[in-house]
Amino acid sequence: MKSKLSTKKKIAISVFTPIAALLIAFFILCVVTVGMYSPAFLGRVLTHWDSSFSDYELFPERIIQAGNNTYTYVKDIDGDLSDMSINYNNKQVSLSKFVEDTSTVSFIIVKSDKIIYEQYAGGYNENSINTSFSMAKSIVSLLIGKAVEDGYIKSIDEPIANYITEFNGKEIGNTTIRDLLLMRSDIEYKEDKFLWFGDDSLTYWYDDLRKLALSHTKLTDKYEGKFHYNNYHPLLLGIILERSTGVSVSQYFEREIWNKIGAEHNASWSLDSEKCGFEKMESGINFHAVDFIKIGSMILHGGYWNGCQVIGNDWINESTICNFPIDGAEYEGTFLDNKNIAYRYMWYCTPSTQSGYDIIAWGKSDQILYISPDNDIIVLRTGKTDGGVSNWVETIRNLISNL
């Protein structure tokens, strides 16, 4: 006599079957990922998934030493600024409350080379470590300009194959350094569409970023020379900097910029792994807030700061200032669509409240170094998230107009 399964057992089996299938499929995906990339990459995405403001604690790092010629801002704190009214998201609050309510951890305003406002929140203080996210790309731009000035790179119009010999005879080798700086190459970049199988995850979590950049040679004609954000660009620029200067990117940054701007504290640059030791060029500069804002002071003064010409004014102008009005078609479909913000050599540019232009280094979760030469003002904002602010650039621009 044939046994019959109980109704409960039948239901259990019917439920178990799709769950088992999903687990098997997930296991296969994991095996494929390890085969294509590495166990370390899979481990990182499974344990952390999305990037975080505290990721500098996860990655190995290369220390960027502060030099002896330090610079300390004079503090001329304007006590009235704490109560200054800030309008955002149809709200109106005081500046101090705005900082506290928006996941901001550091907010510094420098005017006429003096700190007039300084606030820390969310458990952070002046000795806390902040991270750059994509503000690091603006530093990469500065380093390329310095390498050109120093003669390590002949011209940004050179094909990248001149420095990355693995690309000799390949179409990608004809891409110029300028194409990379402008985010206008034909190198294909696919944002994450399915789990971790996308270039966003790879260029952030992979433990051998040199290998990743050198193996990613697929081109596409769909960008038609227009702006398209691509994290392979700073990786390739990092390889070019290493090979042209003969030192690590961190060492070059320390020697040519960090020491010269008068940094008071050591910084660091997160690495892909101890074994490979390549800087996370798309992100990962870690710093004390009061030091990073000195980058802004140097830009504001045309490359001159702390008693020396750190980078030539010609490069500062060429790399940061865009032509306005901009061609809207250049940015159609991107995060800059209809924002009246343009992209130059890994810096953003927008009309100021005066007659000139403001310059912005900008990273995920609205890490912002906002430089307004016409107003002689620099604002640095770092934060754990964007704090729900719909438009940080507009909010800071409006703040500056009232100072």
- The answer to whether 371 and 352 are in contact (CB under 8 A) is no
- Residue 16 has a pLDDT of 57
Rounded CA-CA distance 250/254 in Å is 6
For residue 327, give the 3-state DSSP assignment.
Answer: coil
Give me the average pLDDT of each 10-residue run along the chain (403 residues): 53 61 74 82 88 95 97 96 94 96 98 98 97 98 98 98 98 98 97 79 96 97 95 98 98 98 98 98 97 98 97 98 92 94 98 93 98 98 96 96 92
DSSP 66-114: --SS---PEE---GGGGG-EEEETTEEEEHHHHHHHTTEEEEEEEETTE
Residue 337 corresponds to which tokens in the numbers above?
Answer: 């669509």
- Give the closest residue to 312 by CA, choosing from 301, 321, 323, 322: 301
Residue 354 corresponds to which tokens in the numbers above?
Answer: 């005066």
- The answer to whether 195 and 272 are in contact (CB under 8 A) is no
Residue 290 corresponds to which tokens in the numbers above?
Answer: 């009061």
Asked if the bond preceding 325 is cis, omega within 30° of 0, the reply is yes
103-127 burial, b at 16+ Cβ within 10 Å, e below that, comes to bbbbbbbbbeeebbbbbbbbebeee
Rounded CA-CA distance 221/214 in Å is 20
